[in-house]
Amino acid sequence: MSSEAIRLSAVNRTMSVEKAKRLLGYRPTVSLDEGIQRGVKWYMDNKQKSG
């Protein structure tokens, strides 16, 4: 692993939809917890397909 990859893996990132809510009226249709569950399930179902 390169030093750049190590550095990037240690960076804390926080995401927010507040700006999209404020400027665009965006409202999520799926909760964060459900989205994570769906993402993990999709990954587990598809990880072998991209071999």
**Residue carrying structure tokens 């071999």:** 51
Answer whether residue 35 is part of any domain.
yes
pLDDT of 38 strictly over 60: yes
| Mean of pLDDT over the chain | 90
Answer whether residue 11 is part of any domain.
no
Answer whether residue 46 is part of any domain.
yes
- Owning domain of residue 32: 16-51
* pLDDT, greater one: 32 or 48: 32
Helix, strand, coil abundance in the chain, percent, nearest 5: 55, 0, 45
- The DSSP 8-state label assigned to residue 30 in this structure reads S
If DSSP codes are grouped into helix, strand and coil, which group holds residue 11?
A: coil
Domain count, the chain: 1
* pLDDT, greater one: 45 or 12: 45
